Amino acid sequence: MPGFGSGTAAEQRFNVNLSILFTELPLLERPAAAAAAGFSAVELWWPWVDSPTPERSELDALKRAIEDAGVRLTGLNFYAGQLPGPDRGALSVPGAESERFRANIDVAAGFAESLGCTALNALYGNRVDGVDPAEQDALALENLALAARAADRIGAVLLVEALNKPESPRYPLVSAPAAVEVVDRVNEATGLGNARFLMDLYHLSMNGEDLPSVIERYTPKTGHVQIADNPGRGAPGTGSLPLEDLLGQLRKAGYDGWIGLEYKPGASPSAEAFGWLPVEQRAAR
């Protein structure tokens, strides 16, 4: 697997998404596995897919696992339903799912605060048959404003992510402009300015977007970046995306935040999926 040049990689801060990598291990063993692979930071989708409000003992156990591993939690999703799977968020879905999202807001924010996590990602939610999209969008704005206020209370940003239409055909935010428009609406509604764009280069490439143009236009509104190669959603070097060049462009455009590794490890153990990144460049400096 080709490696990144030291000039680009050495200037980036990488974290590992423990909801897509190291999933061959139990959840509580994954932080230590990431640390053993040389990383100092991790991120997570909401780990309890069936529960927006898990028992305190479960939250405490995960907190201890992260602290004992000596890694930093830098990003956390709010409750979003079954991930990976057909669900793509809950906050715009009327009824029980929206209520579950609201019940999760303070729980997720409190957990993030306990670990010094400063980025919370809220997946928008699929369109629902028989419901006016305008009604869903109004509900989404209301819930995103609640989430933004909770994030602000702990000194965090609220992330809004574009997914890709081939894999998430009912998800309405399938372009960078669509996601950034929601970011702007949330900031206007709250006056806080802490809603930011989550720029996932894999999803945007699946949508056929001009990635250099997206980087040039939207880096100032970007709060987090995630990467995977395309096709295949594998590690850098397994597909055809010029990820090293794209990350270099991001750096030149002023982005100095975390780069989330949100890719599939393939048939090998996750610990073997980082050959593209020299060990000495995995820990944040």
Active-site annotation, residues: 161, 262
Could you tell me the CA-to-CA distances from 94 to 80, 106, 138 in Å, in that order? 13, 19, 10
Residue 122 CA to residue 273 CA, distance in Å, equals 27
Q: What are phi and psi of 81, to 5 degrees?
A: 85, -155
Query: What 3-state class would DSSP assign to 236?
Result: coil
CB distance 111 to 76 below 8 Å: yes
Residue 115 CA to residue 229 CA, distance in Å, equals 30
Q: What are phi and psi of 76, to 5 degrees?
A: -145, 135
Tally of CA atoms within 13 A in the half-sphere of 214 that contains its CB: 25
Q: What are phi and psi of 78, to 5 degrees?
A: -70, 165
The residues pairing with 258 across neighbouring beta strands, listed in sequence order, are 13
C-alpha 146, offset from chain centre: 19
Handedness of CA 68, 40, 163, 182 (dihedral sign): positive
